[in-house]
Structure 1
Amino acid sequence: MRIAIISTPFIRVPPSGYGGTELFCYELAEGLSARGHEVTLFATGDSVVTCRRQWLYGSPCWPPMPEDEVNHVGWAVSEIAREDRFDLIHVNSPIAVPFTRFVRVPAVHTLHHASCDESSRIYAQHPEVAYVAISERQRSLEIALPRSCVIHHGVTPARYPASVADEGYLAHLGRYAEEKGTHLALDIARAAGMQIRIAGRAHPKDHLYYLQEVAPRLREGGASDLGEVDLPRKAALLRGARALLCPLQWEEPFGLIAIEAMLCGTPVLGFRRGSFPEIVDEGVTGFLAAPGDAARLAALATGLARFDRAACARRARERFSSAVMVGRYEALYRTVTGPRRSQGSRAA
């Protein structure tokens, strides 16, 4: 198949640090290319992929602004329509969905974020698009979509070598934000009497939260802020951690960092909400507590010295490898493009 994938103009592909949507686009584009499909990725000019790529912005537009995304998507779709060579277009933001009416091929949209009224109204106006939720919980919180399925994320296991031993500290990685529970992760580690290493950054809208809730806890000792880390440093941090703390305060649609930790053999400790009941195999790849029960997570953290990290890594590879994810998208694409594609002609 000839597939056009539109990423964002905000972060390069693959991301050098934070960037869930962009990591997904990388894994999907690389996986599809390896299976023999002709993929064109519309991303930033500094993106590094083996497939064909095109860009409007040579470097990421940060902080994210709606006008940059509209420019990026509008340009990408105009290029796709002009070339008139693709079998399918795959978009990754609600803003991109209305633009799909300007191309003559089927469209797939992966929902990367929590439901909101503005996005839901767009989806309702475009029932012809095939929508992919990244968890059953995410789909249940969205409006009813006539054409939808669930495909969990996956990443390349080779980049997350499993470790059968840990270095005794806890970890918390990602965006420093109230909904991510960064302050709670620090409290849980202190209650467990364990060191914690956090890595990530606060987005502009979360800066006050960081100053008021995170920075004072870091000054109390027992914790270190490593800042944003690249993939090698992230993998090393996860491999050495006794557990990854994810005390989420919202209905997280998925949580890529959780499966990255599991692939390293590191269990995930979190609350039973969002996608976590789907992606965490209780007792095998992690442990979940009732929402808000931080004391339970602290107690669990102290009892992981004999956790079977090898079994955790095996289970994560069975469920969350990029090969599993790409295979499911490939099957979806074949369904969406229909019999005309199987007969060797472009969908029109």
Structure 2
Amino acid sequence: MRIAIISTPFIRVPPAGYGGTELFCYELAEGLSARGHEVTLFATGDSSVACRRRSLYASPCWPPTPEDEVNHVAWAASEIAREDRFDLVHLNSPIAVPFTRFLRVPAVHTLHHASCDESSRVYAQHPEVAYVAISERQRSLEIALPRSCVIHHGVTPARYPTSLSDEGYLAHLGRYAEEKGTHLALDIARAAGMQLRLAGRAHPRDRPYYLREVAPRLRESGASDLGEMDHDRKVALLRGARALLCPLQWEEPFGLIAVEAMLCGAPVLGFRRGSFPEIVDEGVTGFLAAPGDGARLAALASGLARFDRAACARRARERFSSAVMVGKYEALYRAVSGPRRAQGSRAA
């Protein structure tokens, strides 16, 4: 099949650091290309992918603005319509959905963010689009969509070599934000009597929270803030971690960092919120506590010295490899495009 994937104008593909949507686009584009499909990725000019790439912006537009996203999506849609060579277009932003009116090919849209009224109204106006939720919990919180399914994210296991031993510290990676529970991760590590290594950054809108809740705790606890990391440093940190702390304060649609940790052999410790009951296999890839029960997570962290890291990584490979994810999208593309357009696609 000839597939157009529209990424964002905000972060390169694959991301150098933060960037869940862009990592998804990378894994999907690479996986589909490896299966023989002709993929064109609309992304930033500094992106590095094996497939064909088209770019409006030479470098990422950061911080994100709606204007840049509209420009990027409108340009991509116009190019797709002008070339008239694709069998299907894959969208990754609600802003892109209305532009399907100008395209003569079926559209798939992956929902990457929590439900909001503005996006839901757009979805309701476009029932012809095939919508993909990234967790059952995300779909349950969205409006009823006539054409929807759930496909969990996946990554390439080879990029996350498993470590069967750890260095005794806890890790917390990603965006420093109240909904991510960064301040609670510091409290939990301190209660467990363990070192915490943070890796990430606070986005501009989260800066007041960081200064108010995170910075003072960092000074008091002796935890280390390592800043945002590239892929290799992130994997090294996860391989050495006894566990990944994810004390979420919101209904997160999916947690890619949790999957990355599991593949490295590090179990996930978090609250029973959002997608985590779907992602974490209790006792195998991690442990969950009731929302707000940081004491329970601290107690669990203290007892992980003999955790079976090999079994953790094995289960993660079975459930969350890019091959599993790409196979499900490939089947969806066939169903959406119809048998005539899908004749040239390879079996999953």
Same fold (TM over 0.5): yes
What SS does the corresponding residue of 1:248 show, helix, strand or coil? coil
1:206 aligns with 2:202: no
Residues of 1 paired with 2:152 and 2:127: CA distance?
22
Distance of aligned partners of 1:344 and 1:225 in 2 relative to their CA distance in 1, 3 Å threshold: closer
Which residue does 2:111 correspond to in 1?
111
- Normalising to structure 2: TM-score of the pair? 0.98
Distance in 1, matches of 2:217 and 2:282, equals 30
Instruction: Work out whether 1:234 is the aligned partner of 2:231.
Output: no
Q: 1:151-230 alignment to 2 at 5 Å?
A: 151-230=151-230
Matches of 2:25 and 2:101 in 1, distance apart?
22
Could you list the per-position Cα deviations for residues 55-111 of structure 1 after superposition, in whole angstroms to 9, with x for gaps in the alignment? 000000000000000000000000000000000000000000000111100000000
CA shift digits 1:245-299 (9 cap, x unpaired)? 0000000000100000000010000000100000100000000000000000000
Taking the aligned partners of 2:283 and 2:339, their CA distance within structure 1 comes to 44
Task: Compute the TM-score of the two structures, normalised by the length of structure 1.
Answer: 0.98
Does residue 263 of structure 1 match 2:242? no
Q: Who is 2:277 aligned against? A: 277
Is it true that 1:41 corresponds to 2:41 in the alignment?
yes
Q: Provide the rounded CA distance (Å) in 1 between the counterparts of 2:96 and 2:122.
A: 10
- Residue equivalent to 1:149: 149
Look up the match of 1:7.
7
Stretches of structure 1 lacking an aligned partner (at least 5 in a row): none
1:311 aligns with 2:311: yes
CA distance in 2, matches of 1:342, 1:56: 29
Contact 2:186 2:221 in 1 (8 A): no
Measured after TM superposition, the shift of residue 344 of structure 1 is 6.3
Q: Percent identity?
A: 90
What is the CA–CA distance in structure 1 between the aligned matches of 2:30 and 2:77, rounded to whole Å?
Answer: 21
**Contact kept? 1:194, 1:222, Cα under 8 Å:** no
Q: How far apart are residue 222 of structure 1 and its match?
A: 2.8
Whether the aligned pair in 1 keeps the contact of 2:5 and 2:29 (CA below 8 Å) is: yes
User: Aligned equivalents of 2:22 and 2:142: distance in 1?
Assistant: 22
Q: Is the 8 A contact 1:163 1:239 kept in 2?
A: yes
Query: How far, CA to CA, are the matches of 1:212 and 1:161 in structure 2?
Result: 37
SS of structure 2 residue aligned to 1:270: strand
- The answer on 1:77 being equivalent to 2:106 is no
Note if 1:252 corresponds to 2:248. no
Give 1:43's aligned amino acid: A
Relative to structure 1, the CA distance from residue 286 to residue 343 in structure 2 (aligned partners, 3 Å threshold; closer, same or farther) is: closer
Aligned 8 A contact 2:272 2:291 in 1: yes
Please give the per-residue CA displacement for 1:112-168, whole angstroms capped at 9, x wherever unaligned: 000000000000000000000000000000000000000000001011000000000
CA offset digits 1:174-201 (Å, max 9, x no partner): 0000000000000000000000000000
- Give yes or no for contact 2:89–2:107 (8 Å, CA) kept in 1: yes
Note the alpha carbon deviations across 1:191-231, whole angstroms, 9 max, x for none.
00000000000001000000000000000133000000000
| Aligned-residue offset at 1:343 | 5.1
Separation in 2, partners of 1:20, 1:344: 30
In structure 1, what residue type is equivalent to 2:28? L
Report the secondary structure of 1:220's partner residue: helix
C-alpha change, 1:87 and 1:228, in structure 2 (3 Å) is same
**Does the residue aligned with 1:215 lie in a helix, a strand or coil?**
helix
- Which residue of the partner structure matches residue 132 of structure 2? 132
In the TM superposition, structure 1's runs of 4+ consecutive aligned residues that sit over 6 Å from their partners are none
